[in-house]
Amino acid sequence: MRILVTGGAGFIGALAVWRLLDLGYDVCVVDNLSSGHRSALDRASRLAGRPVEFHLCDVRQTSQLISIMQSFRPEAVMHFAGLKSVAESVACPELYYENNVQGSLSLVQAMLQCQIDRLIFSSSATVYGANGVPPFGEDAELGPVNPYGRSKWMVELLMRDICSAHPEFSGIILRYFNPVGAHPSGLLGEWVQGSPNNLVPYVMGVLQGRFDRVRVFGSDYPTSDGSGVRDYIHVLDLVEGHVAALNLPKGLSVFNLGTGRGYSVHEVIQAMQSVSGRIIPFDVVDRRPGDVAVSIADPCRAHQAMAWKAERGLIEMCQDVWNFAQCSPKGYELE
Ligand code: NAD
Ligand code: UDP
């Protein structure tokens, strides 16, 4: 089976590419390298012992996508390409609507033109409304509170309409909770340049001496220790969810990819201390605007429909992140 992967040079995409190659799929990657790295693909290919086809291409370039699809003839598309910073989306919403919404529309147009009818889309738990009560089932009320989340929601609506109009189409929406982790070899993981927004990359930055202390946002949430609680999922479990989605029937499907279990910020810091054997200094500061207290998935639907379940726990996620930092201290640089 041939799979086209957009955004395959990024954090999650490169791990998906590795896994697909490893399972024997032929893979073609389309990426504009705005945040991804060509060397991540080289590493994925080396780890799997199989080649990957790469096209430096923006998903908004519909005609270029069509010619790539006509030549590669994929049976399915995994669509990871997009921008993902909530803060940046608030500052520059137009970038997010253009990259994430316009980019996805362009991809769907190319797929329809080339009669490729299976699309697996990276959505996010940020589409759930702030007033819902966790754990969130897929039918919980939606209502994202920032442009990033709204861009994901719009693509979900687009996919819903495409599936209604084209009964041969399979549109699979995967709502990720908080992906963390790396390949156990230490060769593939998340490499954030500059100051990361997400908790685990920031904690890693402190361990690497790039930042002095972690700021724990909030001490008065209604949680066990007052800090925010999230459903962290190992990126390799997430990737297995995409592989399982390749076998779903036609029509629209929506799945949460999470573990169903939440951890507080202090529990994550504690886990990173225990795998690294180092003390991680932190300050408790005010809440970060826009954060919810608790975000946890109800992952039952994915279990029932795809026999998929997250297998790895928080310690394994932290161990793999720490190992990636040790093995690749400069990320994908120097190659
Ligand atoms: P990433 O930034 O590491 O990877 C995104 C990749 O897409 C990069 O390689 C980038 O160069 C490429 N890209 C961006 N815009 C493009 C365009 N217009 N055309 C072609 N390529 C483009 O991000 P990631 O963490 O791997 O996330 C992958 C997907 O998962 C994104 O859509 C993101 O919104 C979604 N997601 C991520 C998280 C998370 O915490 N990492 C959570 C929920 C959803
Ligand atoms: N967080 C924190 N300090 C940081 C970054 C994040 O305390 O430097 C907290 C944040 O308030 C939330 C949790 O860690 O409760 C996860 O945040 P992240 O940005 O990783 O994911 P998201 O908020 O998008 O779920």
Q: pLDDT for 151-164, tens place per residue? A: 999 999 999 999 99
- How high is the pLDDT of residue 152? 98
- How high is the pLDDT of residue 127? 97
- How high is the pLDDT of residue 9? 98
Instruction: Give the 3-state secondary structure of residue 205.
Output: helix
Cα of 84 vs centre of ligand 2, distance in Å, is 14
Q: What are phi and psi of 123, to 5 degrees?
A: -100, -165
Joined together, the tokens standing for residue 194 give 């500059």
Cα of 78 vs centre of ligand 1, distance in Å, is 11
* Helix ranges restricted to H, 23-92: 38-48, 62-72, 86-91
CB of residue 12 inside a 6 A radius of ligand 1: yes
- How high is the pLDDT of residue 334? 59
Ligand 1, atom 43: nearest CA belongs to which residue? Answer: 124
CB of residue 265 inside a 6 A radius of ligand 2: yes
Helical packing angle, 11-22 and 38-48, nearest 10°:
20
- How high is the pLDDT of residue 311? 98
CB of residue 217 inside a 6 A radius of ligand 2: yes
Q: Which residues of 288-326 are buried (b: 16+ CB within 10 A; e: fewer)?
A: eeeebbbbbbbbebbeeebebebebebebbbbbbbbbbe
295 bridge partner residues: 230
Which letter does DSSP use for residue 142 in this model? B
- Enter the pTM of the model: 0.98
8 Å CB contact between 210 and 201: no
Joined together, the tokens standing for residue 304 give 């029932």
Low-confidence ranges of the chain (pLDDT < 50): 335
- How high is the pLDDT of residue 116? 98
- How high is the pLDDT of residue 331? 86
Strands 170-176 and 232-234: unpaired
Hey, what CATH topology would domain 2-327 get?
A: Rossmann fold (3.40.50)
CB of residue 36 inside a 6 A radius of ligand 1: yes
**128 has catalytic annotation:** no
Cα of 219 vs centre of ligand 1, distance in Å, is 31
Q: Which one is catalytic: 25, 148, 263, 332? A: 148
